[in-house]
């Protein structure tokens, strides 16, 4: 096994672990970590990628997004609220760094616009 594949597998496992924790802990977003895991597993090991895409964690959080069907509003709102809370903490902590606050504000606005208008909204399955 080469170093690149080992690094990708390790990064994928870390993303999976953080994503699993994020699925339970409200302030830790699961979505970006699970996307990282999916990407790393796809690039490093077909076997790991096949296993990961078969897990309920993947099916519940990523499958519809990866398939191009989008996300339901509950998932979008959960992601936007989590990012807003975390970025607000950073914004307050940078009270003396105006350039940092401006950058965070721009990233936050882009994030909200992207999830509202860039990601398809699908009907939630009851």
For the segment 36-75, what is each residue's pLDDT rounded down to a tens digit? Answer: 899 999 999 889 889 988 988 788 777 877 888 888 888 7
Cβ(42)–Cβ(66) under 8 Å? no
Residue range 24-31: mean pLDDT, rounded: 72
Question: What is the model's pTM?
Answer: 0.62
* Distances 69 to 16, 19, 31, 40, 62 between C-alpha atoms, Å: 22, 21, 15, 22, 10
Domain positions in the chain are: 1-67, 71-126
**Ramachandran sector of residue 37 (left: φ over 0; alpha: ψ -120 to 50; beta: rest):** alpha
For the segment 65-108, what is each residue's pLDDT rounded down to a tens digit? Answer: 788 888 888 878 887 887 888 889 989 999 899 998 999 899 89
- CB count within 10 Å of CB 107 equals 13
Cβ(31)–Cβ(62) under 8 Å? yes
Q: Name the token pair of 14.
A: 């870390």
Distance of CA 103 to the CA centre of its chain: 20
H helical segments located in 1-126: 3-24, 31-44, 46-53, 56-61, 63-66, 73-93, 98-113
- Quote the pLDDT of residue 19: 84
């Amino acid at each position: 096994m080469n170093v690149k594949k080992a690094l990708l597998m390790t990064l994928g496992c870390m993303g999976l672990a953080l994503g699993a924790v994020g699925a339970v802990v409200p302030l830790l977003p699961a979505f970006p970590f699970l996307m990282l895991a999916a990407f790393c597993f796809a690039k490093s090991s077909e076997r790991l990628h096949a296993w990961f895409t078969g897990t309920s964690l993947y099916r519940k959080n990523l499958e519809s997004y990866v398939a191009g069907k989008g996300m339901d509003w509950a998932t979008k709102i959960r992601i936007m609220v989590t990012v807003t809370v975390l970025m607000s903490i950073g914004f307050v902590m940078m009270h003396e760094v105006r350039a940092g606050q401006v950058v965070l504000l721009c990233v936050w606005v882009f994030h909200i616009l992207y999830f509202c208008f860039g990601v398809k909204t699908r009907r939630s399955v009851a």
